[in-house]
Amino acid sequence: MSGILEIIGWRVITKMGFVSSIIALFILGWLNSYLYRKYLRKRNKDWIAFLAIISIGVFWILDCLIYFDVLNMTWLNSLPWINIPASGSGRYFLWNSFMVIGLHPNISPQAGMEIVELVLLISYFPWYVVGKLLGKILHGYRTYQQGLYWPFRPTKTVIKKREK
Amino acid sequence: MSKLVLVDGAKGHTGSFLIKEILESKPNWQIIATDLPIDSRKKLMKKETIFSSELKQMDEFLIDPRVEFLPTDLTKPETLEALFQGRKYDFIFHPASLYDYFALLDILREINVEGIRNLLELIIKTQDLKKLVFVHWSTCGVYGEPKYEKDLRGYPIPADERAPYDPPNYYSISKMEQELVLKEYVKEHELKSIIIRPAPIIGPYQTYGAYHILMMINKLGFAPGLHIYPKKKRLAMPLIHIEDLVRAAVFLAEDERAIGEAFNLVINPCLQEDFLEYLGTLLNTDYINIPILWPLYKLLSKILFWIANRKEKKARKLDSRPQIDLSMAGYMNHQYHFSNEKIKMLGFNFKFPDYDDVTKDTVEWYLGNNWLESDY
């Protein structure tokens, strides 16, 4: 399974862990908010919900697949600075996903940490929403809005647009 | 009783509303209306079209049989003579001014200060000064930020018409100098005059001034509600609805007690945060409530003012203008809190006395006429 994912270029996505997923979803919420205002709202107003379902759904599914070792993350051991144990590799990876970029806190999942894992997994949704709200403030929500960016646009851009 | 009145700046926002008001409320008044010839006006009043592609003036009133339109230029006295030949006016309403925060002092002085001087010169030579009442449009901006008296809890008491001059920008300086020129003529020639000092005007058909707040909130997509602590530092939002402004001008012109006096024209005191919250509701945007300490707010507003200043300089370099004129940004960190008690004491009733009346009427008009973008 992981081999197939590598082939289709999902290597980056499968490097997600709890914290990296939270960061990625926050940024994705922001980006989706911008895309929605700029391109998607005029096609269908429900795109904001579709994007949220797709984004959070993909991360939840991927992380669950990693957690239950359906996606075997030990293939990352081919990198010299990574050492994922063979047993419980998915869970270990989710706690230590930053080892991919050289940050290895070496957290060993213990019994009872499941509740923290569940809370982190559920928190993907509010973090996505926070990112989306930030995007809304910075870029607007309706097609004619431009958010906080509007008063700070470069003067040259403003003048050019006005002349058009 | 039949009256002959002169309205200058007749194609401007205030002038056109004033003519509409007179036509509707004074069936026996004849109006001589004047403004710049079309080409000169377009050249001078770039701001009217630059901020809104929707500009539509209320020119239709000028074709009423009770209105005679004569194009003139306040800076060219010879063009003004036609207004006074064979006519003795009962009232002269003088809203004509270059209202532009981006304009430099020289041009403001030429139009606003020398303009009123040219007009007054002809008035004293040709008019019956015992009969004539001259109603002059100034601005609350001539006070700048007065030193407010405080109530027992430390909250500022709105400043009345006795506050001294301290104009904070070029436009307000030119309006102060206009008042001083008028006062000279009043003293020397016993001209009967009334000065009205409106707060920022709001209402339909506007493309400059308070309109920018509406446009900005609509573009931002949220109304920023900075709730300042301590509460006594919270900033007021002075406004006046255009209809109340012109109604007040007509009301004062007919009241003998108003002669020689100045009057603030402003709605009942309201706070910026309340205005913005209501504006956000009407524009169907969010309202973000952010409690903030006064020193932090001062610092933030100074940073924003500095950014606005840079943008203005850049725009001047590019021979254009920024999206918000710098002087408007001054409302962020100054307390402009004025009293309307004096005109109320004369018995004037505001049609739009509070911020919610003013805001609702204006926003509904803008949305209804598609002057502000909306999804609906």
Decide if A159 and B311 are in contact by the 8 Å CB cutoff.
no
Q: How far apart are CA B158 and CA B162, in angstroms?
A: 11
Whether A136 and chain B come into contact, CB under 8 Å, resolves to yes
Q: B181: distance to nearest CA of chain A, Å? A: 38
Q: Which amino acid is at A81?
A: W
User: B270, B354 in Cβ contact below 8 A?
Assistant: yes
Superfamily of domain B3-207+238-269+337-358: NAD(P)-binding Rossmann-like Domain (3.40.50.720)
* The pair of three-digit structure tokens given for residue A129, joined into one six-digit string: 């929403």
pLDDT confidence bin for A10, thresholds 50/70/90: very low
Decide if B307 and A159 are in contact by the 8 Å CB cutoff.
no
Whether residue A14 has pLDDT greater than 60: no
Whether A83 and chain B come into contact, CB under 8 Å, resolves to no
Q: How far apart are CA B140 and CA B266, in angstroms?
A: 9
Whether residue A16 has pLDDT greater than 70: no
Domain count, chain A: 1
Whether residue A5 has pLDDT greater than 60: no
Is the previous residue joined to B230 through a cis bond, with omega within 30 degrees of 0?
A: yes
Q: B188: distance to nearest CA of chain A, Å? A: 48
User: B201, B13 in Cβ contact below 8 A?
Assistant: yes
pLDDT tens digits, A43-90: 999 999 999 999 999 999 999 999 999 998 888 888 888 888 888 888
What residues have CB less than 8 Å from B313, skipping those under 6 apart? none
* pLDDT by position in tens, chain B (length 376): 799 999 999 999 999 999 999 999 999 999 999 999 888 887 777 666 666 555 566 677 788 999 999 999 999 999 999 999 999 999 999 999 999 999 999 999 999 999 999 999 999 999 999 999 999 999 999 999 999 999 999 999 999 999 999 999 999 999 999 999 999 999 999 999 999 999 999 999 998 899 999 999 999 999 999 999 999 999 999 999 999 999 999 999 999 999 999 999 999 999 999 999 999 999 999 999 999 999 999 999 999 999 999 999 999 999 888 888 888 887 888 999 999 999 999 999 999 999 999 999 999 999 999 999 988 7
User: Is the sign of the CA dihedral B174, B176, B182, B184 positive or negative?
Assistant: negative
pLDDT tens digits, A84-129: 888 888 888 898 888 888 887 778 887 888 899 999 999 999 999 9
Which of A130, A132, A159 to probe by mutation at the B interface, max B CB count within 10 Å?
A159
* Domain range list for chain B: 3-207+238-269+337-358
Closest CA to B165 of B180, B186, B184: B180
Decide if A148 and B220 are in contact by the 8 Å CB cutoff.
yes
- Domain residues for the domain of A120 are 2-163
Q: How far apart are CA B29 and CA B325, in angstroms?
A: 38
Whether A145 and chain B come into contact, CB under 8 Å, resolves to yes
* The pair of three-digit structure tokens given for residue B21, joined into one six-digit string: 């008001």
Q: B269: distance to nearest CA of chain A, Å? A: 28
